[in-house]
Amino acid sequence: MNNKTNVIGYFNPNEYPIQLSLAEFNMVLQLQPNTYVVDRSGRLVNDPVLDRFVGKGKLARASDQKQQVEITHLRPVNDGAATPAAHQHSVSQAQRFDTKDGRVVAVNAVNTAPQPQTPPPVSYNPVKGYSVEEAKRLRYIKPTRIVPEDFGADETAGAPRSGQEIPAIKYATDTVRGRKPAPLPAELVAPATPQQQAIIATLERAAGTNPDDPNVLSNVSRTVVESNVPFVPGLPKPVFGESPAPVRLTPPPIPTNPVPTAVVPLPAPVLVAEDTNEGLVAEEELGAPVATEVDLQEEARVDAARRLPPPALADAIACPLCKGKTFAAKGLFLRHVRRFHEGKEAELMAPHGGA
């Protein structure tokens, strides 16, 4: 077993502390920003079990390809080996039952001869291995029709035979076939609505997208804009920039006297009463105006003016089929007609120059 690795240690590259829960070691690690995972003896921990915590927003790995160091494993909190309890049967027998102080007490039989210790039940492996011949005999492997070795065209020393004389290729096939799958429903094979066809086309495009591509978001946004937003003459086409290259993390310097990583849970937050007078400035220092008497009648007029509805626009378009429904632009009215008055677009848009 190789006990060497080029990983120096694991550290927290974030600007906030993180907490790692390792149930198999019965511990919870608390790691401050830009600090390494250190064991109780002051050594940097490079146990491969911490690889599952490496990722964005979690741990980072500091490695050196030019050197090999020994692996420092994590030690559980209760690393003392517990003494296993002696095996005892859950069912026992009694010689008789006596009543003592109103309670029934079982009186065990007195052993006159030493009883042999019964060993605990031995566990067994539920997986059993078979050879290919045994598996075929037990019908675990389906019987196969084998192609004979002498099948095919005869070898000739002269010119090869024509293609019509060469027999077709045979394949080894299973003699026992599974049940034929049922055909798909008609609505899945042939979509009935344009919405279903659009969904199927979107799923087919998404199936060909590489999720590991760093520019996957910009590619998806470009496809959505180009397929849904119509091109307007006179306006430049949108330009999509590639996402910047990911920033490479730099591990912090290895400390000379590292402090062991805290293994206790985080303390409960303590709310400290802040000084409410700190940072307050008198209004006289800020030059605040002197409070004047408020005119109640003037405030009532201003409040009434705020409650009035906004004035109607001069070029607003009113829908003749919807009472009191006006639109500030022709495009908004056209969208309303297509949504609520389907089939009357030519009639309603004629007074406004058509669609």
Contact 79, 36 (CB under 8 A): no
Domain residues of the chain, as ranges? 1-74+215-265, 317-352
pLDDT tens, position by position, 275-314: 544 544 444 444 444 445 556 667 777 777 677 665 556 6
The whole-number pLDDT of residue 4 equals 85
Query: What tens digit of pLDDT does each residue of 242-279 get?
Result: 556 666 677 788 777 777 777 755 455 555 555 544 54
Residue 297 and residue 303: Cα distance in Å, rounded? Answer: 10
Mapping DSSP onto H, E and C, the string for the chain reads CCCEECEEEEECCCCCCEEEEEHHHCEEEEECCCCECECCCCCECCCHHHHHHECCCCEEEEECCCCCEECCCCCCCCCCCCCCCCCCCCCCCCCEEEEECCEEEEECCCCCCCCCCCCCCCCCCCCCCCCHHHHHHCCCCCCEECCCCCCCCCCCCCCCCCHHHCCCCCCCEECCCCCCCCCCCHHHHCCCCHHHHHHHHHHHHHHCCCCCCCCHHHHHHHHHHHHHCCCCCCCCCCCCCCCCCCCCCCCCCCCCCCCCCECCCCCCCCCCCCCCCCCCCCHHHHCCCCCCCCCHHHHHHHHHHHHCCCCCCCCCEECCCCCCCEECCHHHHHHHHHHHCCCCHHHHHHHHCCC
**Sign, Cα dihedral of 42, 45, 50, 56:** positive
**pLDDT value for 266:** 46
CA gap 260, 39 in Å, rounded: 5
Low-confidence ranges of the chain (pLDDT < 50): 266, 276-277, 279-291
Q: How far apart are CA 173 and CA 162, in angstroms?
A: 28
- In this prediction, residue 233 carries a pLDDT of 62
pLDDT score for 286: 43
